[in-house]
Chains A and B, each alone.
Chain A
Amino acid sequence: AQSVAQPEDQVNVAEGNPLTVKCTYSVSGNPYLFWYVQYPNRGLQFLLKYITGDNLVKGSYGFEAEFNKSQTSFHLKKPSALVSDSALYFCAVRDAGAGANNLFFGTGTRLTVIP
């Protein structure tokens, strides 16, 4: 079975400080991992993905994520938070060996960047 856990419902960070949004996953095979962001009344926007290769993945808007196979984690990071980063963030996973290729999403983490 495939699943994703986002252990924090809410993350608050001061503007200019580094931010981390946590994600752990569970798949039986190799994972494909994704981060999406959702702004109010909007659809999900793709930020970045890990398929294979370098464990540090760089994405849109200065975000990056580090794949850690031993800890089954894929935490989202940004060196310096902006107020405009405030949004709902979703981690998603798919088992590379699974027949179906839909994504399994976490419950989301609401990030608030405080001016």
Chain B
Amino acid sequence: DSGVTQTPKHLITATGQRVTLRCSPRSGDLSVYWYQQSLDQGLQFLIQYYNGEERAKGNILERFSAQQFPDLHSELNLSSLELGDSALYFCASSVVGSGYGEQFFGPGTRLTVL
């Protein structure tokens, strides 16, 4: 158990809908990262927050947004969902905002868009 929690574990929804994925980092970790894992794209970095502020952006679509709250939990919002958004979404956390600290991954949220 990495100490990173994600809810829900599974999410099934329809095209055009909006969903929110939630992540609680390990105790003491200030950085939260979101990744998308799909069969055709592999593991892709979406966005990073450090202590409430956006730190880095990757291949995140404009339909997607995220935030980190004062208690350090983070939410990833996915809107106008398309079939291609079906994937595993992972949250990871690390102590520091720099890249030399290992990231600890949550169990993921499996999103299925029908």
Contact = CB atoms under 8 A, between A and B. Distances in A.
Interface of A: 32, 34, 36, 42-46, 49, 51, 90, 94, 96, 98-108
A103 B106 contact: no
Given A102-B56, A108-B42, A46 B103 contact: yes
B107 interface: yes
Interface of B: 2, 4, 33, 42-43, 45, 48, 55-58, 90, 92, 97-100, 102-108
Given A45-B2, A101-B99, A102-B33, A36 B55 contact: no
Nearest to B34: A102
Contact of A102 (B42, B58, B107): B58
Given A49-B100, A102-B58, A105-B43, 15 more contacts: A32-B99, A42-B108, A43-B107, A43-B108, A44-B43, A44-B90, A44-B105, A45-B105, A49-B102, A96-B99, A98-B99, A105-B42, A105-B45, A106-B42, A107-B42
B99 A43 contact: no
Contact of B55 (A42, A44, A101): A101
Contacts of A101: 48, 55-56, 97-99
B56 A100 contact: yes
